[in-house]
Chain A
Amino acid sequence: MQIEQLNNIKNEMHKQFVNRLQENESTIKFCLGVKSSGITADKKALILSMIEYVSERFDNALVMFDSDLDDGLTVFCGGKTEYYGVNDFNAAKTVVDKYLA
């Protein structure tokens, strides 16, 4: 094995770990509200796409369902909470991008 191969595996596995980390104060949490809709097939498809998208861009972020929140996307970041009434992947991507900076 060469070092590039090692790094490729590392980057691939890193994505798996993004949604498997212990949150801390600097973790950004993207929460999909499911209180009113429940975890539907659409919501599942949305969360998987978002996990993929977020894991490629963040080291310390979680994407999760939250059954205490209604529909939409709520983002917890640096002690602040913002709500976005988005329920599709394209709109959610724009929200995620806002937090990249």
Chain B
Amino acid sequence: MYRSHILVCGGTGCTSNKSFKIVEALNKELAERNLSEEVKVITTGCFGLCAKGPIMIVYPEGTFYHSIKVENVPEIIEEHIIGGKPVERLLHRENDGKVVNSLHETEFMKKQVRLALRNCGVIDPENIQEYIGRDGYQALAKVLTQMTPQDVIDVILASGLRGRGGAGFPTGLKWKFAKASQGPVKYVCCNADEGDPGAFMDRSVLEGDPHVVIEAMAIAAYAIGSNQGYVYVRAEYPIAVKRLQLAIDQAKEYGILGKNIFGTGFDFDLEIRLGAGAFVCGEETALMTSIEGKRGEPRPRPPFPAIKGLFGKPTILNNVETYANVPQIILKGAEWFSSIGTEKSKGTKVFALGGKIVNTGLVEVPMGTTLREVVFEIGGGIPNGKKFKAAQTGGPSGGCIPTEHLDVPIDYDNLIAIGSMMGSGGLIVMDEDNCMVDIAKFFLEFTVDESCGKCTPCRIGNKRLLELLTKVTDGTATLEDLDKMEQLCYYIKANSLCGLGQTAPNPVLSTLRYFRDEYVAHVVDKRCPAGVCKKLLKYSIDKDKCIGCGMCAKKCPADAISRTDYTAEGHKLASMAIDTNKCVKCGACMSTCKFGAVKKG
């Protein structure tokens, strides 16, 4: 029994901020002061507020410390653990300066509802007993002893749970099809490939609560009649892979995986397969091909995996976050789950908030929360007083949502209606300094790179589309090119083999739909309104503002800045000027000038 628990985030974000050094320092300090028997230090998964890492929470008070440094540790032990008073200086301050003691009182947390992330930041993910202490494996025990496979499927169907990995397909329906498929061998797979740039929800679940995925997969296996599962996870997630493997080993040791689980006669085993980071391997058929040891290329559907999947056998594949909801649904019931969310999208969704936003991190909100709430209340708004321009959801398959749709309740169907999609939950915020043509180009470059090349519309069509888009950003496109682009988008969408090609043009289409004026400015005025597209950029020096200090010339790597004969009134030195023929548009002059004399346009 401990009188106090100190929880330190050991997710990837905080680990890269060296949170493990904080853990070491805490343990050392506690040992030196003979407090190790009274106070326990626990490394947990992600608390969500990644922007402020390393994060630490001290219980029982629930005191939230962030941006902690090793030097702060003795003070926290002395004042808080020994003295009984939180170190106020290190507490969180909201934007208005208000001091907040607990993470749950922050604006960031207030509107969040943590279902999929319920154990992240709460338990030690490397200790199966902590998971069990939070009702872990109770749902599996319940299904194996009190429910038939059909009961399980009925509950999942009634809950309204839809897949969190992409298209939002009803999970219960997928399981029902797989159960109905005949055959002695079936497989249960988990998609932890998480290829969308900016998405890290699945990684956080695996890092913070790996047993939930194991438990849910065992439940799914029982429901469809399978004895073998695979988790496909990218090798670039070393912490997630390590903790998942540890969790599998512990579950085997406890007899929760393997033969005759809980003495019920049900057998289930689970293995990890590492992906090499190809985006296309997140597509379900490519993923299965990759598990089979072949090159990860998609296969035409039908037949769907529920009929003919991994190794030609009936298979279900679900996303990590989808699975993370399952044990709670079994324990608390379909009605409880379906009471959260909107009519057609039940439960919550985890978003990875990134881009131009104050609170970068992971948020979990009920379906139906508006983008405004996510960006401005939970996310803390746009930094540096800049204006919100758009939010990109759905990664390379998604689209950009402009200001006019900030109040649309986020769910699967609403996002599709406004030209985007839920995708896996990456949410990248853009401000007035982002060029929307450049954003579309960024995502298209990604999909062109990641296309497996198997089908022509995707392999060649997207490449042609990128060439047209590059003409726009270079200022050499015509208005007819914009029409051509749009037409090409529809051809690619209609004719590609898999979801990668079918959705790759979405970022182009959505930016054309909402930000056509920016495209037109590039094409007609040969101007990038946000000042991002290099070929259309011109740097100049306002000769009346320039004091002639010459710092810009010193910093210029191209020797493009020289002194003029003109001395502005009140200044002692002649002003500087940029030779646009020599300028490489690196922007060094602008960031060096303290007098705001360098202009971009």
Q: Which residues in A have some Cβ–Cβ distance to B below 8 Å?
A: 1-3, 6, 9-10, 12-17, 19-23, 34, 38-39, 44, 47-48, 51-52, 55, 62-68
Q: Is the CB of B145 within 8 A of A3?
A: yes
Contacts of A34 in B (CB 8 A): 84
Known: A15-B1, A22-B104, A67-B84. A2 touches B133 (CB 8 A): no
Q: Is the CB of A3 within 8 A of B262?
A: yes
24 contacts between A and B (CB under 8 A): A1-B262, A9-B132, A10-B135, A13-B130, A15-B1, A16-B1, A16-B2, A19-B5, A19-B59, A20-B60, A20-B122, A21-B59, A22-B62, A22-B104, A23-B102, A39-B82, A39-B83, A39-B84, A44-B38, A48-B1, A62-B60, A63-B60, A66-B84, A67-B83
Contacts of B104 in A (CB 8 A): 22
A68 to B38, CA, bound (A): 21
Q: A19 contacts which of B60, B135, B254 (Cβ < 8 Å)?
A: B60
A14 to B1, CA, bound (A): 11
A38 to B1, CA, bound (A): 21
B75-117 CB contact bits vs A (8 Å, 1 = yes)?
A: 0000000111100000000000000001110000000000000
Within 8 A of A (CB), among B1-37: 1-5, 7
Nearest opposing residue in chain A for B142, CB measure: A3
Cβ of B61 < 8 Å from any Cβ of A? yes
Known: A2-B263, A6-B262, A13-B133. A19 touches B2 (CB 8 A): yes
Cβ of B134 < 8 Å from any Cβ of A? yes
A13 to B133, CA, bound (A): 5
Q: Is the CB of B255 within 8 A of A19?
A: no
B301-325 CB contact bits vs A (8 Å, 1 = yes)?
A: 0000000000000000000000000
User: What's the interface size class on B, roughly?
Assistant: 35 or more
Nearest opposing residue in chain B for A32, CB measure: B84
Q: Is the CB of A2 within 8 A of B1?
A: no
Nearest opposing residue in chain A for B253, CB measure: A1
A90 to B135, CA, bound (A): 32
Known: A16-B133, A48-B38. A10 touches B138 (CB 8 A): yes
Within 8 A of A (CB), among B324-347: none
A67 to B141, CA, bound (A): 44
Cβ of B487 < 8 Å from any Cβ of A? no
A2 to B263, CA, bound (A): 6
Q: Is the CB of B3 within 8 A of A14?
A: no
Contacts of A13 in B (CB 8 A): 129-130, 132-134
Contacts of B206 in A (CB 8 A): none
Chain A min CB distance to B125 (Å):
14
Chain A min CB distance to B137 (Å):
6
